[in-house]
Amino acid sequence: MRNLTTLWSILREFNVRELRDELDAPLRVIVVGSADSGAPQVASAVDREGENIAELHDVSPNAAIRTEIESADLLMVVVKASEPLRTAEREALSIAGRKGVPTALIISSGAADVLPGDAVGRDVPADTVVEIQLEWLDEAQRRIDNVLLRSLGGRQLTLARRVPRLRETVVEQLIRDSSMANAEFAVLSTLPAWIPFLGGLLGDTADMLVLTKNQVLLVLKLAGIYGHDLNDWQRLIAEIAPVVGVGFAWRTIARSLVGFFPTPLSAVPKGAIAYVGTATIGEVARPYFRDGVVVDAAALRQIRERVIARFRSGDAGGSDPPAA
């Protein structure tokens, strides 16, 4: 009962409305370019599964879409490899740049086109420049998806909610980022013990509170991504409590990890324990909220072993989306 009361106190400190608003927010990708540039194909690739987040425009009447560009989440300018950017296309990129809207220049080519010239890809005010072959549909789709992942990294929750084909990639990155953030906090929280002036400022209780809050926040994000109602507090508590409880198996995790560290580091592998505990929580919550699957003891052990192996291999960090 005391654990549930503590968990309720932690949950009350989160701005669930803000989290829900981010999940429910629209996502707008402006795709501009002439009809023969490949822009229609790029817009179709963005909306491959009917997501309806892409808006296709020809920027010849540039002033008419200035407002759309300024309020977009991402601007994609599509040009043919054999042609330079038009003045209107450069201006569209400049408008987005001034407003802080992420931009991508997509250079498209067909089998008969020459390779992109210096005039196309050089000195372009775009955050990302990507080449695609319209005949290689699968590879073009992969590169366009990578642009979405890299350019909309600040809209992770919205992207995962609005674009189902990218959901698992975003969830994987979210779990790794949260786990690494907790690991870094756990390591930094040990510093006061070595600094007399700050000694005792951050005790174990405070550490546990912060780590638990971050773990619960991760679970809330996963629940929202997979379509669960974040306003249903009673159901959330019932679902989250056993999941978060996995992360308190610190002694079991510590015993698994301690042999991997030389003395004296093996005494308190706090960063490693925080990473493995948080990642395990994420990997347990993932199938539960996605498929309704409750992880049993054997599966939990496999998850923990897999996370530990990932940590040992040096592949623990928040993984950047693959390069386009």
Which pLDDT score is estimated for 14?
A: 65
End-to-end CA gap in the chain: 50
Contact 27, 159 (CB under 8 A): yes
Q: Tell me the average pLDDT of the chain.
A: 79
Tokens of 240: 């989250």
Pick the more confident residue, 236 or 282: 282
DSSP string, 22-39: HHH----EEEE--TTTTH
- The answer on pLDDT for 297 being more than 90 is no
Cis before 40 (ω within 30): no
Contact 136, 125 (CB under 8 A): no
Quote the CA–CA distance of 101 and 214 in Å, as a whole number.
Answer: 29
Contact 324, 143 (CB under 8 A): yes
Q: Region 45-62: what's the mean pLDDT?
A: 85
Contact 213, 240 (CB under 8 A): no
Give residue-wise pLDDT tens across range 215-229. Answer: 888 988 999 999 998
Phi, psi values for residue 77, rounded to 5° = -105, 125
Torsion of CA 123, 127, 133, 139, to 10 degrees: 150
User: No. of H helices and E strands in the chain?
Assistant: 14, 5
Q: How confident is the model at residue 201 (pLDDT cuts 50, 70, 90)?
A: very low
Quote the CA–CA distance of 238 and 248 in Å, as a whole number.
Answer: 17
Quote the CA–CA distance of 9 and 3 in Å, as a whole number.
Answer: 10
Contact 114, 81 (CB under 8 A): yes
Q: Region 96-101: what's the mean pLDDT?
A: 93
Which pLDDT score is estimated for 206?
A: 54
Q: Where are the alpha helices (DSSP H) in 152-199?
A: 156-162, 167-188
Q: Region 201-224: what's the mean pLDDT?
A: 75
Q: Indicate whether this model's pTM tops 0.85.
A: no
* Spatial CA neighbour of 33 closest among 102, 94, 100, 107: 107
Quote the CA–CA distance of 42 and 37 in Å, as a whole number.
Answer: 10
Contacts with 323 (C-beta within 8 Å, 6 or more apart), sequence order: 146, 150
Which pLDDT score is estimated for 237?
A: 65
* Spatial CA neighbour of 59 closest among 89, 36, 80: 89
Which pLDDT score is estimated for 135?
A: 85
Q: Which domains does the chain have, with CATH numbers?
A: 2-21+157-312 (no CATH), 28-151 (3.40.50.10350)
